[in-house]
Each structure stands twice: as C-alpha cells, then as structure tokens.
Amino acid sequence: MVWRATPIQSAIIETFTIIGAAVLLASLIFTQTLLFFAGAFFLVLGVYPRLYLKHMVRHLGFFSEKEKIRLSVGETGQLQLVFGNKSWIPVVNGKIEFLLSQDVEVTNIEGESPYQTPLFIPAKQVVRYPIECLAKARGVVRMRNLKLIIHDPLRLASITLSSDFVKKEIIIYPQAKVIGGTQHLQLPIEGRYPRQSALFEDRAAPVGTRDYVPSDSIRNVHWKASARTGQLQTKLFDKTLGMTWTIVTVLDLYVQKGDRENLEEELARVARLCYLAEKQGVDFEILVNTRTIGQGQLMRLPLGQGRMQLLKAMDFLAHIHTNQMKIKPAVLFGEIDRERSQKRIIILIDHTDDPSKMHFVSKWLKQGMTVLKLTPQGDLTPMGRGGRWDAQQANEGY
C-alpha cells in the first residue's frame, strides 16, 4: 500500500542541528576537545531522528486486505489492521488513528472517533491489531483516514503516514421488528380463507419422475424415462407458492425533520417481511426511489427467493439512506406498472402525498393485485381504489 507522508515535524531538532554545527565549528577554531564532543552530540540529536523516520517509512507496510463484516444492530464483530516491519529496527513509539461513523462503537479502544491506539512493531515482524466493533445503527460504515504517527525513540520528531483508501467495511442490518396485518398478504383470487400449504408447480423446474397414473396429463409424461424403465413415467415439478411481493419505499424529495427516525422503524418492519418471505418461499423484490453513483435509474433488489435473496435484501436495506439522490415517485410507480406479467402483492411505504399514487393504486387493484400500506404503527392495511386506506377491507380481513 502506498502511504502519503507529511514532512517530518519537529522544531527542536532544527535547534539541535544549528547548535551542534556552531559548537563543532567553535571547537575546531579553539581546538577544544570537550566542545567538539558536545557539538557532535547535539548534531547527532539533530540528524538521527530524520534518518530513523525516513528509514522506517521505507520499511513499514500496511497489508490493505479487503474486509467486510455483516452485523445486526446490537451485535459485535472484528476488523483487523495488519502492519509489517521489514527493518532490523523496531517501531517503538507509534500511534494508529482512524475514523468510523457513529453507527458503530469501538469497544477495545477508549475514546471516540477519531480512535487512537499505541503502535509497536518489532523488527522483521508482522503484527495484527483487532478492532472490536459494536453495531449501534443500521447503515454502511467504512473506515476512513487511517494514519500512522511515528516518533523516533526519544520522541524528538514525528512523521505521519496516511491513506484514504482502506478496504474495511461494516454492513449493519436493521433489527427486524414485529409487523401486524400479515393476514392481508394474499391475492384476491385466493379467497377469504387461503390455504398456506396450497402449492403450485413450477413447470420449468422438473425434479424427478414417478409411475404414471390414469389421472395424469399426457403432457407430463417423461418419454425418455419411460423408454428407459419400460413403463410410463410422469414428471415431478418443484413446488412454489405462486406469489410475488413487491416492497416499495417512497422517500420524500426533500428530507423533513424526523424522516430518518421514521425510516429506521419502517425498514425494521421491511426486514421482518423479508424474513417472512424467506420462510414461506415467496419471491420478493424491493424498490426505492433513490439512486447512487454507478447505479441505474433507481435502487432495486431484483426478484428472487430463498436464503441468498434474504442476505441480498439485508445488504440492500443497509445501503438505503435519506441523503441519497431521489427520483420522482411517479417514475418509481411507472417502473412497477410496466411489469404486469404476474399478479403480485404490492406493499407501499410512502413518505409523500404524490398525486400519481392514487392513479397507479386504482390501476393495480383493477388488474387483480393486492396493494397494502405500512402504517406508522407497523401494520399492513389494504388500500382502496382511491389510493387510500380501505377501512372496510381491513375490518373484514380482506
């Protein structure tokens, strides 16, 4: 790793150098042995710190290993800072300094950010400094402004080595909170009392065969397996719930006071929805009307299911922030509206009163979709065709 070094900082070594040179010159003029040794002593004090620090800069290394840890709020994890000393001289008076945001707390170093801890590296050795981190709030935390402040053994001078490119990252997941109204997570075509175990077949995913029975469709006959076994075989397909959840977070274009606190509560409920979808085997996606550099028109977690989708969702939720660039809600609603290939449940978390919402909600309901709104109390409630909460549907259990 390439360090950015500041000039050697010291006022006293300049004084020692000047005094040493003057005394040494005087000793030669007056042929005084004691003055000669005194001048040499002061000159050494002025020169050796520079030589020591320049030597250590050439031989000190930081192993910038890419490291990423994932935590939930309240959990602890560990980052590693690894330094190597190729010199035959140890680093005895050093200090490590780095910045972390307030979303984490370093528990094995006293004080607050910027955190500082002593540095000692023996000659010809590699040392590891563990950084114990306690996750305090959802978000993505990156280590910044890593500095090594090195002093000579007598602490007469120092030099600072710094780097802004430290590949250390902490992804903090939201802490899932209980969500109400989950009985509304059903499509209108399923009726009032759906069976959660009523599964559909994914005909694109055959998983085996069984003996043919007269009630089987001829389209499901596996002809190659039938020829191999000498009797008719029927394809077996993977099972799916045949349901899709689209979770939509609409942030206000202008951040208002308290929006961040409200967003944290809502994302905690969304996290619970993701866990519920993973448990039930439901396909789900997440959309937010924000975008970041290098991303597309909006932040989006593509449709998926299972454990891997859940991990992607937690990462996705950790990256949402009110300071990100936002797009108009109508653009987000239009993106959802273009995908009509499958009936879905749309769950809205809306911080705006955008008038286009009423139009799209009415349209989705006419197409046989279920549209739910997450209330500030953490409950899912059905929305009517006017784009508002449908109290009658909520009381009837939809």
pLDDT at residue 372, rounded to an integer: 92
Q: What radius of gyration do the chain's Cα atoms show?
A: 33
Q: 388 and 273, same structural domain?
A: yes
Asked if the structure places residue 37 within a domain, the reply is yes
Buried b (16+ CB within 10 A) or exposed e, 6-38: eebebeebeebbebbeebbeebeeeeeeebbeb
Domain housing 132: 61-173
Which are the contacts of 80, defined by CB distance < 8 A and separation ≥ 6?
65, 67, 128, 129, 130, 131
CA atoms within 13 A on the CB side of 64: 12
Asked if the structure places residue 14 within a domain, the reply is yes
Q: 285 and 321, same structural domain?
A: yes
Q: 250 and 215, same structural domain?
A: no
What pTM does this model have? 0.74
* CATH code, domain with 167: 2.60.40.10
Asked if the structure places residue 198 within a domain, the reply is no
Asked if the structure places residue 1 within a domain, the reply is no
Q: 317 and 235, same structural domain?
A: no
Q: 327 and 252, same structural domain?
A: yes
Q: 29 and 13, same structural domain?
A: yes
Ranges under pLDDT 70 in the chain: 1-2, 186-207, 237-242, 255-260, 292-296, 340-342, 385-398
Asked if the structure places residue 147 within a domain, the reply is yes
Q: 331 and 186, same structural domain?
A: yes
Q: 289 and 365, same structural domain?
A: yes
Q: 187 and 166, same structural domain?
A: no
Q: 319 and 247, same structural domain?
A: yes
pLDDT at residue 294, rounded to an integer: 58
* Selection from 380, 372, 332 nearest residue 356 by Cα: 332
Query: Helix, strand or coil for residue 258?
Result: coil
Asked if the structure places residue 186 within a domain, the reply is yes
pLDDT at residue 63, rounded to an integer: 84
Asked if the structure places residue 338 within a domain, the reply is yes
Q: Determine the residue type at 374.
A: L
Q: 387 and 315, same structural domain?
A: yes
Asked if the structure places residue 2 within a domain, the reply is no
DSSP string for 51-120: HHHHHHHHHEEE----EEEEEETT-EEEEEEEEEE-SSS-EEEEEEEEE--TTEEESSS-SSSSEEEEEE
Angle at 332 between CA 329 and CA 337, to 5 degrees: 125
Q: 288 and 258, same structural domain?
A: yes
* Selection from 306, 337, 270, 268 nearest residue 74 by Cα: 268
Q: What is the count of structural domains for the chain?
A: 4
Phi, psi of 203 (to 5 degrees): -70, -10
